[in-house]
Amino acid sequence: MSRLVMKFGGTSVASLSKMRSVTSKIQKEVENGNQVILVVSAMAGTTDELIGKVTQISPLYDAREYDVIVSSGENVSAGLIALLLQSMGINARSWQGWQIPMKTTDDHSNARIKEINIKNLQEKFFLGMQVAVIAGFQGISDNGRITTLGRGGSDTTAVALAAAFGAHRCDIYTDVDGVFTTDPKITPNAQKLERISYEEMLELASLGAKVLQTRSVELAMNYKVKLRVLNSFTNGSGTLVCDEEDIMEKSIVSGITFSRDEAKVTIVGIRDKPGMAGSVFHYLSQANINVDMIIQNISEDGLADVTFSCPTSQVNAARKSLEKGKADKAFNYAKLVEDKQVAKISIVGIGMRSHSGVAQTMFKTLGEENINIKVISTSEIKISVLVDGKYLELAVQALHEAFELGRALA
């Protein structure tokens, strides 16, 4: 019997009527002879509302209780969908993370899956269960406490279950038709991609595309889980996230993504001598700052400016850690300059490995639009730039055009 994982996001289970309409997709897969492992998110808006309640009590909440509260949204959707499926004559049963059990680390609010014991579920399938409805996003630590997997974590629940069961595919149902060349809200002629490689999807997700949790893509890549992103309310084929070898036509640039959640910090007037950068980034890493882009400008008087980017929410912590480094006399600097009005724009494509001139096209295009590039970083398959936030739309549109993404892909 073949096994299929289906995951429905918050907008797909936002109301009883939405739930009813997605159950027909589930019924179809059951009728096709699949054992269905169904992962559900909380009803749209629920998780945010629960987080709001927690932070109202105290901004310095106990993370273990946060997880108890915030994971509860998924329990409600799982129970409701199970009831709806039962009313259609389908043998369905809901499962919370701890009941499986889905074992995780004890990093509350951002736990990682360690191990899934599928014995209980397998037994129930053997005894006639047709659909196991699983509350996404949650697990249990070695201490027996409830954990959650970070925002968007239901995607990771789904991929992990697909890997554990050796499912033939993991279908992620959402409110868009698939993965697009860029956000259609910004560039109306953005195209849906038929296929995208794990590696590209991983870059897109970690650079700001919200369609899949980054960790779920990482897991799919490691366990070679065939992942499909598709719309809950239409009948399109979606986008298949798969191995590079399964993609016939490799485009140079597959997608453009962006993030407004990035800020730029410049350390002005730091001594230009060996060990300085090591010391600065030691302090930043001690404070768990996710530094992304880095540049250093050397001036003639033996001083340098070091600029880095990090999530906007971490700027205060970054400043504090640098002030601490200065107070400890680990390094000295004249001042810190922060810029939160920036946007990071990235182009991603496996074809970049074998094509030259991609960076040149990107920089020239931005130049022609009079958009100044503040910081650049590259990897084998992506180029990111930081620009003034007010140019985000213009930059994305111009790059989408320059790389012919509106037409070339189907």
Query: Residue numbers of the site for ligand ASP (CB under 6 A)?
Result: 9-10, 41-42, 47, 73, 136-137, 151-155
With CB under 5 to 8 Å by kind, the binding choice for 178 among Mg ion, ligand ASP, none is none
Least Å distance between CB 291 and Mg ion?
26
Q: Which of 136, 139, 152, 178 binds Mg ion (CB under 5 A)?
A: 152
Judged by CB under 5 A, how many residues of this single chain contact Mg ion? 2
Least Å distance between CB 9 and Mg ion?
5
Cα separation, 153 vs 22, in Å, equals: 20
With CB under 5 to 8 Å by kind, the binding choice for 73 among Mg ion, ligand ASP, none is ligand ASP
With CB under 5 to 8 Å by kind, the binding choice for 239 among ligand ASP, Mg ion, none is none
Cα separation, 231 vs 238, in Å, equals: 7
Least Å distance between CB 149 and ligand ASP?
8
C-beta of residue 38 within 8 angstroms of C-beta of residue 26: yes
With CB under 5 to 8 Å by kind, the binding choice for 349 among Mg ion, ligand ASP, none is none
Site for Mg ion contains 178 (CB under 5 A) = no
Q: Considering beta carbons, is residue 136 or 325 the nearer one to ligand ASP?
A: 136
Phi and psi angles of residue 115, each rounded to the nearest 5 degrees, phi first: -160, 140
Strand-pair partners of 38: 6, 133
Least Å distance between CB 283 and ligand ASP?
31
Q: How far is CA 29 from CA 24, 33, 131, in A?
A: 9, 7, 10
Cα separation, 289 vs 280, in Å, equals: 12
Least Å distance between CB 116 and Mg ion?
20
Quick one: DSSP state of residue 232? T
With CB under 5 to 8 Å by kind, the binding choice for 257 among ligand ASP, Mg ion, none is none
Residues recorded for the chain: 410
Task: Give the CA-trace dihedral at 297, 299, 301, 302, to 10 degrees.
Answer: 30
List of residues 6+ apart from 405 with CB closer than 8 A: 181, 182, 190, 191, 253, 255, 256
Cα separation, 373 vs 391, in Å, equals: 11
Q: Contacts with Mg ion in 2-21 (CB under 5 A)?
A: 9
Least Å distance between CB 207 and ligand ASP?
19
For Mg ion, the binding residues (CB under 5 A) are: 9, 152
